[in-house]
Amino acid sequence: LIKNRYCYFLTWMGEFDKASTLAKEAMSIDPVDYNSYTILYLVNLFSDSVETARMYMNELNTAVGRHIRQVTWEIELSFSEGNFKKINQLCDSLVKSGNELNALELSYNAMAYYAQNQLEKSNECLRRLQDSRNRNLSNPFYFSSRAYAFRNEPDSVFANLNKSDKKREINFIRLK
């Protein structure tokens, strides 16, 4: 556990090689601890090794079972691969299974629809994201700004980042 906590710090600091080595050591000690898989997934995703990130996600699914976090990871991987249709399908499956999309998932869904020239559906996702600010979603302004950046709408990006800063949203604080 201590090694994995240090690995999160190393990942945060961009020391991907060190984090990867230490996470693999921790994994050899406790092969079913999800933290090692999470770190290796993140390190590889941030290093543009999407296939290796997918491998660690699949290994985690095998070790501890699939849960909602892995669906979000699958959405992130699909975005990295440019598989926008799959993002929409994953978001639809979450909704159909009774889960409400979080701000991150709504922003990915909006970006995916936009990439497929489905502007009306993209706008609907952004409306839901913006309306959801009243429902206590985590970091709605930050994730709205990401979607607007993808759409190349700088005025909306900066307006939402300004709101994110004023609300002290944790994702924006970490970005700084």
Does the pLDDT at position 113 exceed 90? yes
Are 106 and 98 in contact by the 8 Å Cβ rule? The answer is no
Tell me the per-residue pLDDT of 6-37, one tens digit each, with 9 for 90 and over.
888 888 888 999 999 999 999 888 887 888 98
Q: 10 Å Cβ neighbour count for 97?
A: 9
pLDDT in tens, 133-163: 556 678 888 899 999 999 999 999 999 999 8
Q: Which of 4-13, 105-114, 167-176 has the highest mean predicted lDDT (pLDDT)?
A: 105-114
Q: How far apart are CA 85 and CA 78, in angstroms?
A: 9
Which two tokens mark 63?
């070790």
- Secondary structure of residue 98 in the 3-state scheme: coil
pLDDT of 86 above 70: yes
Total Cβ atoms within 10 A of residue 123:
14
Q: Which two tokens stand for residue 138?
A: 């985590």
Residue 129 pLDDT greater than 90, yes or no = no
| Residue spans of beta strands (DSSP E) within 35-172 | none
Say if residue 132's pLDDT is above 60: no
CB-neighbour burial class of residue 24 (10 A; exposed 0-12, middle 13-18, buried 19+): middle
* Of 69, 22, 4, 18, residue with least CA distance to 47: 18
pTM for the predicted model, two decimal places:
0.76
